[in-house]
Amino acid sequence: MANFDDFKLAVEALSGGKNTVILDDIGMPSVMVAWPKQKNSDLFGGSEIIHPGSIVDGNEKTMYVSKFINIVYNNRAYSLPYREPKHTINFDTSVTMCRNKGAGWGLMPFSLWAQIALWAKKNGTMPRGNNNYGKDHSYVHEKGTGMAVDSSNRITRTAVGSGPATWNHNWLPDGIADMNGNVYEWCAGLRLKDGEIQIIPYANSMLSTVSLGSDSTSWKAIDAATGNLVDPGTAGTLKYDYLNSKITLISGTVTDDGSSGRSTGFTSLAAESGLTVPELAEALILYPDSPGGDYGGDNRYVTLAGERLPLCGGDWNDTGSAGVFCVYLINPRASADDNIGFRSAYCDL
pLDDT in tens, the chain (349 residues): 557 778 888 898 888 889 999 999 999 999 999 999 999 999 999 999 999 999 999 999 999 999 999 999 999 999 999 999 999 999 999 999 999 999 999 999 999 999 999 999 999 999 999 999 999 999 999 999 999 999 999 999 999 999 999 999 999 999 999 999 999 999 999 999 999 999 999 999 999 999 999 999 999 999 999 999 999 999 999 999 999 999 999 999 999 999 999 999 999 999 999 999 999 999 999 999 999 999 999 999 999 999 999 999 999 999 999 999 999 999 999 999 999 999 999 999 9
Largest separation between any pair of C-alpha atoms in the chain: 61
Supply the pLDDT for residue 348. Answer: 94
Dist. CA 235–CA 232, nearest whole Å: 9
Q: Please name the residue ranges forming H helices in 20-129.
A: 40-43, 91-99, 110-122
DSSP for 7-31, written as a single string: HHHHHHHHTTTSEEEEE-TTS-EEE
In contact, 282 and 46? CB cutoff 8 Å: yes
Picking from 14, 341, 6, the residue whose alpha carbon sits closest to that of residue 175 is 14
Q: What is the pTM of this model?
A: 0.97
**Residue 280 CB partners (closer than 8 Å, separation 6+):** 52, 222, 227
Dist. CA 262–CA 169, nearest whole Å: 27
- Class of residue 152 by CB neighbours under 10 A (exposed 0-12, middle 13-18, buried 19+): exposed
In contact, 19 and 174? CB cutoff 8 Å: yes
Dist. CA 103–CA 125, nearest whole Å: 32
Domain range list for the chain: 4-122, 186-337
Helix (H), strand (E) at residue 313 = strand 311-313
Supply the pLDDT for residue 2. Answer: 56
